[in-house]
Structure 1
Amino acid sequence: MSIPDYETLMLPILKLLSDEKSRKTSELVNSMIKEFNISPEDAKELIPSGRAKLINNRVGWACTYLRKAGLIESPQRAINKITDEGIKALKNEPIKIDNKFLLKFEKFQEFRNDRSENIDKSKEQNIAIEEKTPEEIIGIQSQIINKSVGRDLLDIITGIEPEAFEQLVVDLLLAMGYGGTVEDAGSAIGKTNDGGIDGVIKEDVLGLDTIFIQAKRWKGTIPIKEVRDFAGALLSKRSNKGVFITTSNFPDGAYDFVEKIDRKIILVDGIRLSNLMIKYNLGVSVKETIEIKEIDTDYFTT
C-alpha cells in the first residue's frame, strides 16, 4: 500500500496514544507501517530533498498538527503523549481527524492564522502566490515554520524553572555576542536580586561597559510598574543600559516610557525572545538545509 497523507495518519496515531503511554516518534512510524501494510520498498521512499523518509516525514507532520491542536504533547524531544483534550476528542468517536476537524480547537485556529498571514499580505498587495519566484515561496514557508517553532519555544520556556530561564537569558546574550565568558556571565545573573535587577553581563569581551538585566517569566501583560522599577534600579546603579526580557508582553505605555527616559532600556517580549532564539540557534537545531543552485558561468568561460 502507498504511504497515506499526513491527515489520514492523524486518527490512527491518536488512537495508538489513547492508552496514555509516551511513545517515541520512531515507534509511531513503525506502527503506522504495520497499520497500513506499507511494503518495505515503499517505507524506504524519500521526500524530494532526499534527506528523510516520506513515512517519517508524514508521521512527524501528523504529530505536529495534533500537537498544535493540543490533542497530544511532547514532554521530551521526539516523545509523544496524548492529552486530556485528545482523550475527549476520541470519546466522540470521530470517523476522521483532519485539518477541518482540528479547526474546532482554538490552538489550531491560532496556528492556521499564522500560516495564512503571509499569504494574506500577498493578497493585500495583489500578488498571487503563483506569481512569486521559487526563492520567495521558500522564504514564506520558512517564516511560517519559524513562527510555529517560536510558539513551541514559548510554551516550553513558560514552563521551566526561574533559574533555568535566567540561564537561558545568559546563553542567549552570549550567543548574541555579549558578555565576557560563560563563567563570567553565569556568575553574574541571578545573584544580585537587587532592586529589580536580576543580573549583570558585560557588554563585550573586554568588559568596557555593563548591561543590567531583568528576566521574568510572566503570565499576562507585564505591569508598567515593573519597567519603571527597573529604570529606577538602573539609576541607583548609575547605569545607562538595561535589558528587560520576559516570556509575556509589555503594554504600549511601557514602550512609550522607555523612549522618553534618558537611560537605554530594551524591552524583549516573548515573541521577540523566541525569534532571537531561532536566529541565534539557541534551543533549536537545523532540521534540514536546502541548497539552491545556480549556473557557475566562470566554469564555462574559456
Structure 2
Amino acid sequence: MTSIDYHQLKTSKYGLPAWGSLVAPAIEIGLQKEEWHIKELEASVDDALNLPEKLSRLTYEKYPDTRIIIDRIGWALSEGATAGIFVRPKRGVYKVTELGKTLFEQYGYKLDSKIVHTQPQYIAHKKEVQERKKASDTDNSELDSGEFYGVNGTALVVKDIAKQIDNYNVQVADDLLNRIREAEPKFFEHLVVDLLVKMGYQGVNGNAIVTPQSHDGGIDGVINQDPLGTSTVYLQAKRYQANNIVQRPSIEQFYGALNRLHADRGVFITTSSFSQQAIQTAKSFSIVLIDGLKLTNLMLQYRVGVETKHHFDLFTVDEDYFDADELQ
C-alpha cells in the first residue's frame, strides 16, 4: 500500500492539502491499475495520505455530509481530466494518461494547479468555455433590449430566470462535449448521424448509415435524403481534444473523398475547432463545418444525448379576461 506524507504537499484552508497538490498523489495511485472507479480512486488516495483523524473527518459547514479532503481529491481528478492528465473511458471511471505519467515523472509532488492550468488541453478548454458563454450572452441580448416589459419587477424576474437557465445549459453543453471526447470514435460517428437525422436531413423516406470503418474511404456517414439516393449528404467526423485544431489538409482530404464519389454535399464535424485556413478552404469547396461548440448547441436544440430535466411555467395575468368590455 502506497503511503504519502501529506506534509510534502501544499496545504490551504483547514490545513488540508490543496486540490492542486493532490493531482500528483492521484496520478501515483492511479498508475497502480489500468482503470479506477472514481469512488475507489478517491478512497485510495485518501487512505494513502494518512491524515490525522481530525483533518480527515473535516466537513463543510453547509454540507456536513461532504468530507473536504474527498471533495478536493475529486477536484484534482476533474481538473486533471480537463488538462488531459486523466481520461474517463466510461462514466465514473478514470485512467492516467501518458501526459499524466510524464508530468508526475517531471514534477513529482511539486505538481500543482499552476502546472495543471498551463497544459494546452486545459487552456483550449477554458477558451471554449469563454466562447460558449460569449455566444450565449449574445443570444440573450434581447433581454436587455427592452423587449420584455412588466410590472412589479416582472422583466427582471424573466431576465434572471433566463440567465440562470442559460448558465446551467452552458455547463451541460460543456459536460456533453467532454463526454463525447472521452467516448469511442465509432460512438461519435453514430452520434453525428443521429444528430443530422434529428435535424431532418434524412427526409421522409430516406436512410442514414455509419460507414464500416474498414471501407469508409474517408467518409464516416452517409445520409440519403430520398429512397433513390439522388440527394445525399456525406459526413466526416473527427473526435479531437480542444487543443487539436482541424487544419486545411484534413478539409482537402475530405474534399478528395467527396470528389471520388462525385458528391457535392459534405459536412465536416469535429469536437474541437477549425483553423482559419481550414474555414476558408471549406468555403471554397462548399463544405459545411460544425465545431464542438456548434455541435453541442445543436444537440441541446434537437435533444440528442440530453433530456429535459425540469419544466417551468411562468404566468402572467390574462388582461383580456379582466377587460370589462368583454363582459358587456
TM-score of the two chains, using structure 2 as the length reference: 0.56
Superposed counterparts of 1:1-302, under 5 Å:
7=19, 10-11=22-23, 12-31=25-44, 37-38=56-57, 45=64, 60-91=74-105, 92-94=107-109, 97-98=112-113, 100-117=114-131, 133=160, 135-136=162-163, 139-140=166-167, 142-143=169-170, 146-147=173-174, 149-151=176-178, 153-154=180-181, 156=183, 160-161=185-186, 166-179=189-202, 184-186=207-209, 189=211, 200-203=222-225, 210-217=231-238, 220-223=246-249, 225-226=252-253, 228-229=255-256, 232=259, 236=262, 242-247=265-270, 249=274, 251-258=278-285, 266-269=288-291, 271-277=293-299, 279-282=301-304, 284-285=305-306, 289=309
- Using a 3 Å threshold, how does the CA distance of structure 1 residues 133 and 90 change in structure 2: closer, same or farther? same
User: Which amino acid counterpart does residue 90 of structure 1 have in structure 2?
Assistant: F
User: Which amino acid counterpart does residue 173 of structure 2 have in structure 1?
Assistant: N
Which deviations, in whole Å up to 9, do the C-alpha atoms of 1:152-199 show, x marking residues without a partner?
Answer: 524646xx25xx55433332222333336999423x8559x7998666
TM-score of the two chains, using structure 1 as the length reference: 0.60
What SS does the aligned partner of 1:93 have? helix
Contact 2:258 2:266 in 1 (8 A): no
Paired-residue identity, %: 21
Counterpart for residue 50 of structure 1: none
Q: Deviation of residue 137 (structure 1)? A: 5.1
- Using a 3 Å threshold, how does the CA distance of structure 1 residues 285 and 5 change in structure 2: closer, same or farther? farther
Q: Deviation of residue 251 (structure 1)? A: 1.7
Contact 1:169 1:215 in 2 (8 A): no
Q: Deviation of residue 67 (structure 1)? A: 0.7
Distance in 1 between residues matched to 2:34 and 2:70, nearest whole Å: 20
Q: Deviation of residue 32 (structure 1)? A: 6.3
Any unmatched runs of 5+ in structure 2?
1-13, 145-158, 323-328
Pairwise CA RMSD of aligned residues?
A: 5.1
Any unmatched runs of 5+ in structure 1?
48-52, 260-264
Q: Deviation of residue 79 (structure 1)? A: 0.8
- Number of equivalent positions: 267
Contact 2:89 2:182 in 1 (8 A): no
Distance in 1 between residues matched to 2:202 and 2:300, nearest whole Å: 20
Contact 1:202 1:209 in 2 (8 A): yes
User: Which amino acid counterpart does residue 109 of structure 2 have in structure 1?
Assistant: P
- Using a 3 Å threshold, how does the CA distance of structure 1 residues 10 and 297 change in structure 2: closer, same or farther? farther
Which deviations, in whole Å up to 9, do the C-alpha atoms of 1:14-48 show, x marking residues without a partner?
Answer: 44324244210122344467666338999x8579x
Counterpart for residue 151 of structure 2: none
Distance in 2 between residues matched to 1:23 and 1:39, nearest whole Å: 25
Which deviations, in whole Å up to 9, do the C-alpha atoms of 1:235-267 show, x marking residues without a partner?
Answer: x57xxx6232243747233343256xxxxx533
User: Which amino acid counterpart does residue 16 of structure 1 have in structure 2?
Assistant: I
Distance in 1 between residues matched to 2:205 and 2:70, nearest whole Å: 38
Distance in 2 between residues matched to 1:6 and 1:297, nearest whole Å: 52
